[in-house]
Structure formats: C-alpha cells, structure tokens
C-alpha cells in the first residue's frame, strides 16, 4: 500500500490518539512490528505556528518510527498551510489534516469535525495545505456532524479534488462521539466513490475484525486506535493472519517485558514523576483482563519511585504465573 510516494510495508495504521500515541508508544508498537504507519497525536496549528515550546517538544520523533504521519488541526487555511510546512521541514513522511475531532474545545475553534459542517472552508484548507507541502497529504474525517448531515462522500471528493493522497474515515458521526457502532458500510461507499486510497477506521478490536473490515469494504488500509492500547500486538497479529499464519497471543512474559520496556523508554526522557504517571495508565491497559489486575493498579497508584514500580510489576507477574 502506498500513500503518495510513501510505501507502507503493511496496510495497517496506528490511529492518532491524543495523550496516547506519543513517541514512547509509537516506538513500542514499531518494535513489536506489523504496523505500517504510525500517527502522532494531533497538533494545534495555532500552537505550532505561535512557536509553542511544549508543542514542538511533543513533535519529537526518531528514524525508527518511520514512516510517520503528523496530524494537524485548525480552522485557518493560512495557519494550517504554515503548520504543514513546519511538519514537512521537521521531516515527517506524511502530513494529515484532522477533520474528525468532536471535542468541544476543538469544535469551538471551528476545527476538527466542525470543518465537515463547512465544506468550503474544508476545501480551502486542503487546497492551501496541498500548495504548501510536497510530502503526501492525508485527511481524516468522520461520517458527518450527525446522521442528517452525513456528507462524508462530499468531503472525500473535496479531498481528492484538492490533491489529498489518501483519506481515513472513522465511520461514526461527530455527534456519536464514541457511542454506537462504526458503520462500515459507509467505508465501503467511500472506497467505491474515490480513486485515492481509503483507510477504514472504527471498532476493530481483534485481528478477525480487521480481516472482516478489509473484506466488507475493500478499503486499502485498516486504521486502529483503542484496540492497540490494550493489545499493542494487534498489528503483528493481523499481519500474521494476512500471511496465512495463526496470530500468536502474547504470553505473560511478553506482557511483563512490554511494561518494563515502555517504562524504560519513558525514563530515558521523562523525570521520575512524569514517567510514573504515564506508565500507570498504560499498565492498566496492558494488564487488562489478567487476574488481580485491579490490585496491581491500586498498588501502583500510590508509588513514587522507579524501584517501587519495578518491584510491583515483578511481584504481580510472579503471582499471576504461580496462580
């Protein structure tokens, strides 16, 4: 699968997730393997072009993560074009425009999903961004603001006409936020309508779901968000399934190593407090469904040192293994 000149070894994409798809998580996924493209969490074009130090810090990435897409959001075509230029200068492989975020904070600035309610502005943004960068350009959107205004086909055509190299559809409306089910039929319709590659997104929870999404819609790539947090092996499992092999379930040892590796990555760059804060959340997901996971989560909540955290993890896995 190709997006512009960028070749994806697998048609499998890590969805952008604010607060989740930071450099550490992207590296974890790349090292596990199977993922064809990783996405950074979305970046405000306002903050980026104002020179926000925090924003620029968030945008660090390494060669190991390639190919990497950086997603920007905003409502001003000129600022979006400048932000895209910055993304290109930084060396990202792909710049992605967010037209799907339903969060109020973003909608109030008329960005994210609000752009689906203003196709002329959406067009102006894609056009200006296209003019400002040579790297492949993608757009991620939803079905529409709500079911009455399901204009994803119009939006897809706009993106294509204005030179986007691919689009991704999260098959829910903005009003749905994350409720209900993603309507994959809409992904099929978009794929049927457009000539550029279409990534299908929404509610892929297992490798079998990914196979079903490819099958039902003919989409060019499958994009996965939430399931990858609980199961970062999912891309490797889907790649195995696509190669006709049985997907391997991660064992306890792999989970233990995963948590310690993620923590080690955090500690390389973050101070102790911040590393502990971040790893707590991920440990909750990585131990999801294991016996006594809740006891572990309670224990690590109060911990303030690296050594205590590592002890807690080692104790937990010893206990689960012995059970």
Ligand X SMILES: Cc1cc2nc3c(=O)[nH]c(=O)nc-3n(C[C@H](O)[C@H](O)[C@H](O)COP(=O)(O)O)c2cc1C
- Report the catalytic residues: 101
Enumerate the H helices of the chain as residue ranges. 23-32, 45-50, 53-58, 77-90, 104-108, 119-132, 152-161, 184-193, 207-217, 226-230, 234-242, 252-269, 272-286, 293-301, 306-322
- Judged by CB under 6 A, the number of residues near ligand X is 22
Quick one: 72 or 312, whose CB is closer to ligand X? 72
Is-contact 241 207, C-beta < 8 A?
A: yes
Cα–Cα distance for residue pair 159/170, rounded to 1 Å: 15
Cα–Cα distance for residue pair 61/73, rounded to 1 Å: 19
Closest to 59 (Cα-Cα) out of 74, 70, 73: 70
Does position 30 interact with ligand X (CB under 6 A)? The reply is no
Does position 186 interact with ligand X (CB under 6 A)? The reply is no
Which one of 22-30, 146-154, 202-210, 303-311 is the stretch in contact with ligand X (CB under 6 A)? 202-210
Cα–Cα distance for residue pair 152/274, rounded to 1 Å: 39
- Would you give the binding string for ligand X spanning residues 128-167, x where CB under 6 A is met? ------------x---------------------------
* Neighbouring-strand partners of residue 166: 138
Quick one: 141 or 316, whose CB is closer to ligand X? 141
Does position 225 interact with ligand X (CB under 6 A)? The reply is yes
Q: What is the nearest approach in angstroms of ligand X to the Cβ of residue 98?
A: 5
Cα–Cα distance for residue pair 163/135, rounded to 1 Å: 11
Does position 26 interact with ligand X (CB under 6 A)? The reply is no
**Binder of ligand X out of 155, 203, 231, 312 (CB under 6 A):** 203
Q: Which of residues 67-86 bind ligand X (CB under 6 A)?
A: 71
Cα–Cα distance for residue pair 219/217, rounded to 1 Å: 5
Q: Which of residues 273-302 bind ligand X (CB under 6 A)?
A: none
Quick one: 16 or 34, whose CB is closer to ligand X? 16
**Binder of ligand X out of 66, 127, 157, 226 (CB under 6 A):** 226
Which positions touch ligand X (CB under 6 A)?
A: 15-20, 41-42, 71, 98, 100-101, 140, 170, 201-204, 224-227
């Amino acid at each position: 699968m190709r997006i512009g000149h960028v070749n994806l070894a697998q048609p499998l994409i890590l969805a952008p997730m604010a607060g989740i798809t930071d450099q550490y998580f992207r590296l974890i996924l790349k090292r596990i393997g199977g993922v064809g493209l990783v996405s950074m969490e979305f970046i405000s074009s306002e903050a980026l072009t104002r020179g926000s130090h925090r924003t620029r810090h968030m945008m660090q990435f390494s060669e190991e993560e390639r190919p990497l897409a950086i997603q920007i959001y905003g409502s001003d075509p000129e600022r979006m074009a400048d932000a895209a230029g910055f993304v290109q200068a930084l060396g990202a492989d792909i710049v992605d425009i967010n037209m799907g975020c339903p969060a109020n904070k973003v909608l109030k600035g008329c960005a994210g999903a609000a752009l689906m309610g203003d196709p002329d502005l959406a067009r102006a943004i894609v056009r200006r961004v296209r003019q400002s960068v040579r790297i492949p350009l993608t757009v991620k959107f939803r079905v529409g603001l709500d079911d009455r205004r399901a204009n994803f086909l119009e939006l897809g055509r706009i993106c294509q006409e204005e030179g986007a190299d691919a689009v991704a559809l999260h098959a829910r409306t903005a009003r749905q936020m994350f409720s209900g089910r993603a309507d994959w039929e809409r992904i099929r319709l978009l794929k049927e309508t457009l000539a550029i590659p279409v990534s299908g997104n929404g509610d892929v929870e297992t490798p079998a779901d990914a196979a079903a999404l490819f099958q039902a819609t003919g989409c060019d790539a499958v994009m996965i968000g939430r399931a990858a947090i609980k199961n970062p092996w999912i891309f490797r499992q889907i790649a195995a399934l696509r190669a006709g092999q049985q997907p391997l379930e991660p064992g306890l040892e792999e989970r233990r190593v995963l948590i310690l590796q993620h923590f080690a990555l955090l500690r390389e760059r973050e101070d102790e407090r911040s590393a502990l804060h971040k790893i707590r959340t991920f440990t909750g997901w990585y131990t999801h469904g294991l016996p006594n996971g809740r006891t572990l989560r309670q224990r690590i909540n109060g911990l303030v040192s690296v050594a205590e955290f590592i002890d807690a993890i080692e104790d937990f896995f010893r206990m689960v293994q012995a059970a």
